[in-house]
């Protein structure tokens, strides 16, 4: 696994259930770069952190997946976790 994938997983595993639910809600509505589409909200509901990480990488690749995850975390007020993702090379 790549470093960014591992860090996305670590960050998502550290979210409590309500934070993970909020993350999924915001992820489904986040503005994306041209050429990308949002993960359908219905497919996010039952995903645990491992499956959500896989879905993020499948939809957005590792680099953009980490960038999006950091953006959603910042929007949630979780600056420290977002910063961890930005620091991974």
Q: What is the pTM of this model?
A: 0.91
Instruction: Dump pLDDT digits (tens) for 5-63.
Output: 999 999 999 999 999 999 999 998 899 999 999 998 889 989 999 999 999 999 999 99
d(CA 13, CA 47): 12
d(CA 54, CA 36): 16
């Amino acid at each position: 696994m790549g470093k960014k994938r591992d860090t996305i997983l670590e960050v998502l595993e550290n979210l409590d259930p309500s934070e993970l639910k909020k993350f999924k809600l915001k992820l489904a509505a986040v503005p994306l770069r041209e050429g990308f589409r949002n993960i359908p909200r219905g497919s996010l509901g039952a995903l645990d952190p491992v499956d959500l990480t896989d879905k993020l990488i499948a939809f957005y690749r590792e680099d953009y997946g980490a960038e999006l995850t950091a953006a959603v975390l910042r929007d949630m007020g979780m600056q420290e976790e977002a910063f961890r993702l930005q620091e991974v090379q």
